[in-house]
Amino acid sequence: MSEALPGMPPPPPVAATRPASVVVPYRRTPEGVEVFWVRREKALAFAGGFYAFPGGKVDKTDALVPVRGASGQDAALRVAAARELFEEAGLLVAEGARRLGAEEVREARRALLEKRSTWSELLQRHGLVLRAEDFPDAGRWVTPEFAPVRFDTFFYLLEAPEYAQAEWWPGELSEAAWVKPADALARWEQGSALLHPPALHVLRVMADFDTPERALARLRDQPDCPDFIAQRIEFHQGVRVFPLRTATLPPATHTNAYVLGNGELLIVDPGADDEAEVARLLKMVDALVAEGHRVQAVVLTHHHGDHVGGVRAVTERLKVPLWCHARTADRVDVPAARLLEDGEVLELAGSPPQRWRVLYTPGHARGHLCLVDERSHAAVVGDMVASVGSIVIDPPEGDMAEYLKQLARLRDWPVTTLHPSHGSAVPDGPGKLQEYLDHRAAREARIVEAVPTEGVTLEQVVERAYSDTPPFLHPVAERSALAVLLKLQGEGRVRESAGLYFRT
């Protein structure tokens, strides 16, 4: 990603929400309550690699299935909840399910997953009846506006019946298991299990489980959630992401600010220049300060406008200094109190403390920095990668050869989760970085093929090498194509003369 370029279309509208259902299965053991959680396959477009609970979107056919004790949307949501619970966990919860043997249940699940039977047909065939009472309301969560895919999700709490056996089958889930909520939260604290706010809230409530009634009341009491949208997003402990609406390149509409730390805090990239957006960020920071946290500084990954728009307002309001690289400091209008260099460690006191190592990663911008947590190896990566859209390398500020070098360096550091400036966290950091390297190599090969020995203009290179890109994005593609051509010139593989490029 980068700043919006002249001639680009306006940002896309906020995505509409889709109705969805999630079930939190739990069981009581002599050692305490366990919940059945799942990890979504990393390749999935929504929440890939995150831990969650069985669930998914409501299908049109779900409205055709009757539910005793519910009607309309309430019924359809519970139909989807029961179906997703069966598909993802193998738990068949319905009146009459106790009569079915284990192998009969497995065959019904296979038939449903292989689309040899619909959910309605399966229930009718076995004389099963869905009941609203089996799926009590456990809260509602709406995906924030920055996400390209959004759901209006209704949660249900269900004590797994003793006759049902939860089983993980490979497919859309890379793992699934019964887990003590405290153990799951410990993994979140260590950074080895990424959680969206609803799952984090569920685990915190279930870690203190006493009765189903109290648990349900606490699950429905969702903190910091106006209109059911979470304002605090902490994918793992001490890394809070706060998406701000900015003038960035589509399809992104927001740039992520990050608030790092468990006591002392760093605010990374407060990029919005809109007063209302800055006020939203400061409201969240004020709440953290009221809880005993203390802001140390504002840190910039680089100088682009969608990363620095709120710097002056935030530093002046909080009376904190600005820290950044020297090549960023000379491009922003707020004096930098500390110039960060490659290899420095930013120590934040807290419980637990954090140590963020500074990596100097030019290529997208001359002053670009990444921060890597020495405990979890998670990395705040600015515009090195994005989970929404792609990264533009725009000469002369952008340098493709240097950018590729830094991608490989970051991949080999090693890192775990990547926290980019655009989009959600990326659990498989090395995999995403290699994906970017592979994509750039493939694009470079197409650009080389588009440059004949008799010469061609930059516009013609874009037409040939970016034929798979919508025309409205060609102005952006032209900047990256130029960056590749300059790299090829440096390698002696292409030469330029009078605005024409020739393969050598």
The confidence score (pLDDT) of residue 8 equals: 57
Average pLDDT (46-57) is 94
CB 372 within 8 A of CB 409: no
CA distance 502 to 453: 5
pTM for this prediction: 0.93
Average pLDDT value over all residues in the chain? 95
What are the Cα distances from residue 88, in Å, to 111, 259, 440? 13, 34, 36
Which stretches of 181-332 are DSSP H helices?
A: 181-190, 197-207, 212-220, 275-290, 305-308, 311-318, 326-329
- In the chain, the percentage of residues whose pLDDT exceeds 90 is 89
pLDDT level of residue 147 (50, 70, 90 thresholds) = confident
pLDDT tens-digit readout, 101-139: 999 999 999 999 999 999 999 999 999 999 999 999 999
Q: Reply yes or no on whether the pLDDT at 426 is more than 60.
A: yes
pLDDT tens-digit readout, 199-235: 999 999 999 999 999 999 999 999 889 999 999 999 9
pLDDT tens-digit readout, 263-299: 999 999 999 999 999 999 999 999 999 999 999 999 9
Higher pLDDT, 253 or 410: 410
pLDDT tens-digit readout, 368-383: 999 999 999 999 999 9
Query: Tell me, what DSSP letter sits at residue 264?
Result: E
Q: Reply yes or no on whether the pLDDT at 311 is more than 90.
A: yes
The confidence score (pLDDT) of residue 409 equals: 98
pLDDT level of residue 489 (50, 70, 90 thresholds) = very high
Q: Reply yes or no on whether the pLDDT at 13 is more than 90.
A: no
The confidence score (pLDDT) of residue 11 equals: 65
